[in-house]
Structure 1
């Protein structure tokens, strides 16, 4: 069992290293042969093969005869997988990706807020309030700010009671991280964020699904213009 745990730890380490190399464009379009990678990471071919198979299963790689192991475009990666979400957000967000993550939030979070107002338990709603209070107490750039923002949105999504929405929480956290790096350093944007988040929380506490959905949509809409200014592509569809 100890040996098995060690192997799993090695596989995880190699996967993490491979992903870092991929998002930093270290390897180009084609990964080096397995024996070369095994020497690079100082692991056995068995460990390297297992790590590569894990990335293959997540639609990140494509093995082709006479070509080798090709790195697939990031938009083809299996984003429903939480590990893939985390890895994708390591790369510098591009304009199309920022647009897409905002459109994802527009699709998921307003409905999740409505359902949190209708279905959330007293404990879940109290936890949402606690997360909001923590969010308000930290300024952008201070330690814990991004985590507080992500925790608040995650708790709202979880309180919706929808299992599929719950599975999307990792994407919501990643989206917040990407967008937050772009806009929340401005005082005006932060003050607006505190106000718009408060409107959502208060609607959930009042058990007002319609207002919670409207407030969450307004919250996300308030970020669109700020993000759109940094986008070279079309702005997100509201």
Structure 2
């Protein structure tokens, strides 16, 4: 049992190293052969084969005869997988990816807020308020700011009671980790963020689904506007 746990841990470390190399574009489009990778990571071919198979299962790689192991576009990766979500958000965000992140949040978070207001338990609502109180006393760039914001949004999704929404929490956390550093470095945005978060929690506490949904949507749309000031998120015309 101890050896099995050790092997699983080693496979996880190799997977993490491979993903880091992929998102940092270390390998290009095609991974080196397994024996080369085994030497690079100083592991057996069995461990390397298992690590690669895990990435294959997540639609991150594609094995082709006479070509080798091709790295698939990030848009093909299985984003429902929490590991894949975390890995994808390691890469430097591009305008199209940021657009997709905002669109995803608009689809999920406002409805989750409405459902949290309608059917969240007293404990659920208290947990959201607790997260907000922690968030409101931390400024962007200070330790704990990102974690506090992610906790606030995650607890709303949990309070929705929707099991599919709860599965999306990792994507929402990743979305915040990508967007926050970009939009929260502007003067006055911290105060706006506090006000928008407060509007959401107060609507949930009043058990007002319509206002909770509107407040959540307004909060995300404001972030989208700030992103639009810094990035062109419109797809470029193909020549």
Bin of the TM-score, shorter chain as denominator length: over 0.9
Structure 1 residue 229: Cα displacement: 1.5
Is the partner of 1:75 in helix, strand or coil?
helix
Paired position in structure 2 for 1:132: 132
TM-score (ref. length: structure 2): 0.97
Matched with 1:120 is 120
Tell me if structure 1 keeps the 8 A contact 2:61–2:71: yes
Task: Give the 5 Å matches for 1:177-192.
Answer: 177-192=177-192
What is aligned with 2:63? 63
Matches within 5 A, 1:67-216: 67-216=67-216
> Aligned-pair distance for 1:22?
0.1
What corresponds to 1:11 in structure 2? 11
Match of 1:225 in 2: 225
Deviation at 1:232, TM superposition (A): 2.4
Q: 1-side partners of 2:233 and 2:168: how far apart? A: 25
> How many equivalent pairs are there?
235
- State the Cα distance separating 1:58 from its structure 2 match: 0.3
Deviations for 1:27-48, whole angstroms, at most 9, x for unmatched residues?
0000000000000000000000
TM-fit CA distance, 1:186: 2.1
Name the stretch that deviates more: 219-228 or 7-16: 219-228
Cα deviation for residue 231 of structure 1 reads 1.8
Does the CA-based 8 Å contact 2:98-2:233 persist in structure 1? no
61-70 or 181-190: which moved more?
181-190
Deviation at 1:125, TM superposition (A): 0.3
Gaps of 5+ in 1: none
Conservation of the 8 A alpha-carbon contact between 1:110 and 1:213:
yes
Q: Tell me the TM-score normalized by structure 1.
A: 0.97
Q: Is the 8 Å Cα contact of residues 96 and 231 (structure 1) preserved in structure 2? A: no
Equivalent residues in 2 for 1:20-35, closer than 5 Å: 20-35=20-35
Is the contact made by 1:95 and 1:230 (CA closer than 8 Å) also made in structure 2?
no
Runs of 4+ in 1 over 4 A off after TM superposition: none
Contact 2:74 2:88 in 1 (8 A): yes
For 1:7-30, what per-residue CA distance to the aligned partner results, in whole angstroms no more than 9, with x for missing partners?
001000000000000000000000
